[in-house]
Each structure stands twice: as structure tokens, then as C-alpha cells.
Amino acid sequence: MHYPNGKKSSKFSASLKGQKPVYSNRGMTLEQDINITNQYYQEQNMAVIHKKPTPVQIVHVDYPKRSAAVIKEAYFKQPSTTDYNGIYQGRYIDFEAKETKSKHSFPLSNIHTHQIEHMRQVSHHEAICFLIIRFSSYQETFFYPVERLFTHWDQQFDGGRKSIRYETIQKEGYIIPIQYHARVNYLDIIDKYYI
């Protein structure tokens, strides 16, 4: 079977050979889902929340031709803080998005000390600050308040676990069902528990 562009359908070709079709990368990444959600929020004039750019210092660029510049060497200027920030109903929103393939727990090593320090600072000033955690094996996404994260973060240095159990996140967090327009509709959680 060929598509109008002349290319063969890989799913059809695979099934002709007696193999199962390949469905990898069928789902979107958490970041893509959040970006679509934030775009929807902005288009509907609900909130203005953006992904923060990573501060990078470009050192060396090759220009083989004008339209094909290639960055050959670059360095992070400084540690980044969290992934997203913005404003919703007059409140500052600040959050980090993390995805894990683990079925059993969320490793605290996925978060950096400077990110925890940043989240503590913005929380101190009454920002709505949280993690969005996706367990990709289950395709489940959770809103996880930083106050609960801080408890687990601090306990790891007193002999506690270096991860948060999946069951604990189910109990302490809030599931975010995948939706069509606002794919990761975290504002619903904020409306129920913060505003």
C-alpha cells in the first residue's frame, strides 16, 4: 500500500511479512502534551504559561552554507530552574515536568538540588508550585504538590528512600486525565485545591 507521497505504509508492509505492526512513539511525550495544553489555555484566554528556554552559550558554529548553520559546541550558561512558569487568575504558577519509565517509583535523582531550592523559594512567596509526573508505562499523569515532594526530598538525606513509590504518588497526588484540547489539564486541579 502506498500513500499519495509515494511511500509505503510501514504498518501494512510489516503485517504483509507476518510481523506485528510497530506502534512505538504512538503517544506524545509529556512535554508535547503540556505545550499543547498551554497553547490551548492561552488561546482560550485562561492562563499564560510558557516553557522556559534553557540558557545556552553557543561557542562554535559551522556555516557549510547560509541555510544550514550547525552548532558544533555549546555550554549551559547556568543551571535551569523549572520547566514552566506563568500566571493564572493573578497567581504565579511554576512547575517541573518529569516522565519515568519505572512502574514502581519516581526516582528523586530526576530532580536537581538547584530545582528544589528554586521551588522552595517560589513556594515561600505563595506561588502555586508543583510537579507533573508521568508514569509512561501506565500512561498516567499526576499533579504532585511540592510540599509533599519536599518531605520525600528531605527524608532521603536522613536514611529515607531515594524515590517516591508509585502508590504514594497515587495517594498524595492528583491524577490528570488525558483530554482532547487541554491534554494535561492541570488547571482543573489548581481550581479544586488552590484557588
- Residue 135 sits in a domain of what CATH number? 3.40.1350.10
pLDDT, mean of residues 13-17: 38
> Is 146 among the domain residues?
yes
Q: Look at residue 61 and tell me if it is in a domain.
A: no
Give the residue ranges of the annotated binding site.
81, 83, 96, 115
pLDDT, the chain, mean: 84
The string of pLDDT tens digits covering residues 22-65 is: 333 344 699 999 999 999 999 999 999 999 876 666 777 787 77
Q: Is residue 7 predicted with pLDDT exceeding 70?
A: no
In a domain, 156, yes or no: yes
Binding residues for Mg(2+): 81, 83, 96, 115
Question: For residue range 79-136, what is the model confidence (pLDDT) as tens digits?
Answer: 678 999 999 999 999 999 999 999 999 999 999 999 999 999 999 999 999 999 999 9
pLDDT digit string (tens) for 143-185?
Answer: 999 999 999 999 999 999 999 999 999 999 999 998 988 999 9
HEC readout, the chain: CECCCCCECHHHHHHHCCCCCCCCCCCCCHHHHHHHHHHHHHHCCCCEEEECCCCEEEEEEECCCCCCCEEEEEEECCCCCCCEEEEECCEEEEEEEEEECCCCEEEHHHCCHHHHHHHHHHHHCCCEEEEEEEECCCCEEEEEEHHHHHHHHHHHHHCCCCEEEHHHHHHHCEECCECCCCCECHHHHHHHHCC
Structural domains counted in the chain: 1
Q: Look at residue 66 and tell me if it is in a domain.
A: no
